[in-house]
Amino acid sequence: MSAWTIFGELIQPGIGLQPPVNIQGAIESDALGRMPYHLLMADADVVVTFDASTDANAYTLRNIAEDVAQRWCDVFALTNGMGLRVQMRSASTPAGTLVFSRKLARVTGSDATTKAAEHAFQIMYGAKHPAAQEALRVSLADYRQALTEPGETVALCWRAVESLAYYFGRNNDKGMDALASSLLVSRRWLRRTLDVPAQERRHGKAGWVTEDQRVDALLAARLVIERFLLFLEHDLQLPPGTEKIPATEAAEAQGA
């Protein structure tokens, strides 16, 4: 596979970078190996070209390109007091042009998700569960940010679950244990799916999230949020017959 070029922009209106940014470098990860890149940023335009062949899919490359450009913006923020965000919108690929959508079809909700969202509106704008309202507000903010920041998706999904844990206890460990017990969620599954990968990212381990890993984290966090809403809907208990997450012992054993 030949070179890929990913195109994007700074999403803050009226921001233009002068002089242009012109950086050549390389990224390395266990999954993708070494990939040389060329980053160009001028005015509000962002272009990242990968010069090496790769088997990564287009959305994984989009995530990496966005991460490469965002690093420069994060250094810029140290001295300029301005937080800039990058969004990559399209790619020139060996097969043609691809336009990225910010709506992830693979995490579009089911009927159960729609029902949970309806109840979320009632919690967010009602007075029945004030403590839950605040926990849910923070959790959904983290989940929304996970959708908009591909490089930080896993860490933010874990934080979305942590936000709910504080509803169950002021100490995070005890709160997480209570969350797992109250919502019938496997603690081992949470650790494997979100906690361990998130801690590695938050504590500085190099690497990039593939699109599959990103989707898995988003789906896992949403399952927990939906289960929390079900718990509130039934007056702080789950209805009879509610299955544990994950539903099978085999899946839970995998998380050991």
- pLDDT tens per residue, range 72-118: 888 888 877 778 889 899 998 877 888 887 677 777 767 777 888 88
Please give the order of strands across the beta sheet that includes 86-93: 17-29, 33-43, 45-50, 4-10, 86-93, 96-99
* 245 within 8 A of 227, measured Cβ to Cβ: yes
Judge whether 245 and 254 are in contact, CB under 8 Å.
Answer: no
Residues of the chain where predicted confidence (pLDDT) is lower than 50? 1, 249-250, 255-256
Q: Across the chain, how many H-helices and E-strands are there? A: 9, 6
Would you state the pLDDT for residue 256?
Answer: 41
Quote the pTM value: 0.79
**8 Å CB contact between 39 and 23:** yes
Domain positions in the chain are 4-99, 105-254
Residue 7: other Cβ atoms inside 10 A: 19
Token pair recorded at residue 132? 């839950």
DSSP string, 193-235: IIIHHHHHHHTT------HHHHHHHHHHHHHHHHHHHHHHHTT
- Which residues, 6 or more positions from 32, have their beta carbon under 8 angstroms from its beta carbon? 54, 56, 60, 64, 208
Which amino acid is present at 167?
A: Y
